[in-house]
A and B are shown apart, each in its own frame.
Chain A
Amino acid sequence: MEFFVFVCAALMVLGGAIGVVLRPNPVHAALSMVLTLFGVAVLFVAQEAHFLAAVQVIVYAGAIVVLFLFVIMLLGVDRAENLRTDPVTVQRPLAAVIGIGLLAMLAAAIASSSDALQSRGPGIATATLTGDTDTNIRELARAVFSDYVVAFEVTSVLLVIAVVGTVILARKVKGTVAS
């Protein structure tokens, strides 16, 4: 069963990714990204990361992509990009080389450790009817709020900073407008 799920989700992910890269219209690209994010959420569920899947959909697909679309529409950069040529001629070949190289190295890394990764391992404990293990969200909450509570608090501060900073950054400056 997981096999089918994997194949479908993988197709979604890769298809969306290729769509992001190849579609000239930024709005189309954003929508392709939604497809990818969805695929990733499905894969999360398949790997018993239920909470994360939910958060993925809510935050990434629901907030971040919406934010992207807002900005695209606000700035009016929704004109299609000319993807036929690249002003920097060396860029595309170089990107190809980098891509192939990167993939090769990552694959080599994964392959060299595949003996350890071939087995399925113990897996994440999921909730059972007997109540020995809590639901994924409870377990995660337990970890976050006890072992990683400092990191948690710091991330909340980070969010505040991000918001405040962006408000200041994106302000319209009164008076002279530097070119």
Chain B
Amino acid sequence: MNAALLAEIRPTSTWYLLLAAVLFTIGTVGVLVRRNPLVMFMCIELMLNAVNLSFVALARRLGDLDGQTVVLFVLVVAAAEVVVGLGIIVAIMRRRQGATADDLAVLKG
């Protein structure tokens, strides 16, 4: 492999988007499989990051700064969401130590 040849390859938007897709999938699977509520939350953050990545890739492809603006707002909202989500988790988990998502089954029909 010639490093110079490799340097010629320019990654296109497709690569970035595929990467974002993979990241998104990993995040989804993580939400479904993990039982610790905090780790589930982290996987949701992974999904958000994947979305951010695709936005930026498309902004660059279309030459439009609006994509980056969206990412900025997504970032802000994600922050707010984390705050509230962790507050809820704290409120619930305070009563039980070592509780998992499976223990919160009050909605069972």
Contacts and interface: CB of A to CB of B under 8 A. Distances in A.
Interface in A1-40: 1-4, 6, 10, 13-14, 17-18, 20-21, 26, 29-30, 33, 36-37, 40
Interface string B53-85: 100110111110110110111011111111110
A129 interface: no
A162 B14 CA distance: 36
A144 B35 CA distance: 39
Contacts of B28: 95, 98-99, 102
Contacts of B9: 3
Contacts of B32: 91, 94-95, 98
Interface in B20-56: 21-30, 32-39, 41-43, 45-46, 49, 52-53, 56
Specify the main secondary structure of chain A where it touches its partner. Answer: helix
A118 B63 contact: no
A126 B42 CA distance: 33
Contacts of B15: 6
A72 B40 CA distance: 13
Contact of B19 (A13, A158, A177): A13
Given A68-B38, A77-B38, A120-B13, 18 more contacts: A20-B26, A20-B39, A20-B42, A49-B59, A56-B75, A63-B79, A75-B90, A81-B100, A95-B28, A107-B21, A110-B21, A118-B12, A118-B14, A120-B61, A124-B63, A148-B69, A161-B80, A166-B84
11 contacts: A21-B43, A26-B38, A40-B52, A68-B38, A68-B86, A77-B97, A95-B33, A107-B21, A140-B65, A148-B69, A179-B95
Interface of A: 1-4, 6, 10, 13-14, 17-18, 20-21, 26, 29-30, 33, 36-37, 40, 43-44, 47-49, 51-52, 55-56, 59-60, 63-64, 67-68, 71-72, 74-77, 79, 81, 86-88, 91-92, 94-96, 98-99, 102-103, 106-107, 110, 114, 117-125, 136, 139-140, 143-144, 147-148, 151, 155, 158-159, 161-163, 165-167, 169-170, 172, 177, 179
